[in-house]
């Protein structure tokens, strides 16, 4: 593995609680596997996977202050559902603290929770890898096995399944749904129906 990837992995080990670090490494290797499967950039996928949750444990008040200071726009949904903010703030830290200049990596961190319409390979990869990495369980993801298999066969269909599952889960639990996820679901529904 290249030295920069090893360095980021070590930094995440120091930064994150043990369980989140294990998930983070799971996402990085899942993303690397999908990159290999589709002939895409393995190193970029590893870096994005390792950094995707770097801002997960910033207390909400501090996260809001940091976003304001950095000029990051906060949507109504993000204001009410603080968990969503760690994507945007994570991308900001990836750039300012970990020296990532690649816009595609930064964007894949921003949208790893919500997804978005017309994602690049890397954006789809990190969104999906976060959903299906080996430590995830069937408890909140009833069709996880199907999505895992599909991810290696048809990335767009797997993204659609994961978005559909996520939105159904949020609805069942009366949780707020980000408009970006609704747009993403609509986009991939049309895309997969066209084959």
Q: Rule CB under 5 A: which residues touch Fe ion?
A: 53, 130
Question: Smallest gap, in angstroms, from Cβ of residue 190 to Fe ion?
Answer: 26
Question: Smallest gap, in angstroms, from Cβ of residue 167 to Fe ion?
Answer: 17
Indicate the residue among 14 and 153 with the shorter CB distance to Fe ion: 14
Question: Smallest gap, in angstroms, from Cβ of residue 44 to Fe ion?
Answer: 17
Indicate the residue among 35 and 128 with the shorter CB distance to Fe ion: 128
Question: Smallest gap, in angstroms, from Cβ of residue 112 to Fe ion?
Answer: 6
CA end-to-end span of the chain: 37
Indicate the residue among 14 and 193 with the shorter CB distance to Fe ion: 14
Asked whether 35 and 125 are in contact (CB, 8 A), the reply is yes
Indicate the residue among 19 and 69 with the shorter CB distance to Fe ion: 19
One-character DSSP codes across the chain: --HHHHHHHHHHHHHS-HHHHHHHHHHHHHHHHHHHHTT--HHHHHHHHHHTTTTTTS-HHHHHHHHHHHT----HHHHH-GGGHHHHHHHHHHHHTT----HHHHHHHHTTTT--SS--HHHHHHHHHHHHSTT--TTS-TTHHHHHHHHTT-HHHHHHHHHHHHHHHHHHTT----HHHHHHHHHHHHHHHT-
Indicate the residue among 3 and 139 with the shorter CB distance to Fe ion: 139
Question: Smallest gap, in angstroms, from Cβ of residue 27 to Fe ion?
Answer: 6
């Amino acid at each position: 593995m290249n030295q920069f990837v090893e360095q980021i992995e070590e930094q995440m080990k120091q930064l994150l609680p043990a369980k989140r670090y294990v998930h983070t490494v799971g996402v990085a290797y899942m993303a690397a596997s999908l990159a290999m499967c589709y002939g895409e950039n393995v190193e970029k996928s590893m870096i994005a996977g390792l950094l995707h949750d770097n801002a997960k444990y910033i207390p909400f008040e501090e996260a809001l202050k940091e976003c304001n200071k950095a000029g990051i726009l906060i949507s109504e949904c993000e204001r009410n559902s603080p968990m969503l903010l760690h994507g945007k703030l994570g991308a900001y830290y990836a750039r300012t603290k970990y020296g990532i200049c690649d816009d595609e990596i930064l964007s894949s961190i921003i949208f790893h929770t919500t997804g978005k319409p017309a994602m690049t390979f890397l954006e789809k990869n990190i969104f999906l890898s976060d959903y299906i990495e080996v430590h995830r369980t069937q408890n909140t993801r009833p069709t996880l096995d199907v999505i895992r298999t599909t991810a290696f066969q048809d990335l767009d269909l797997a993204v659609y399944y994961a978005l559909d599952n996520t939105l159904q889960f949020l609805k069942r639990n009366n949780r707020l749904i980000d408009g970006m996820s609704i747009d993403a679901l609509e986009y991939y529904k049309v895309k997969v129906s066209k084959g």
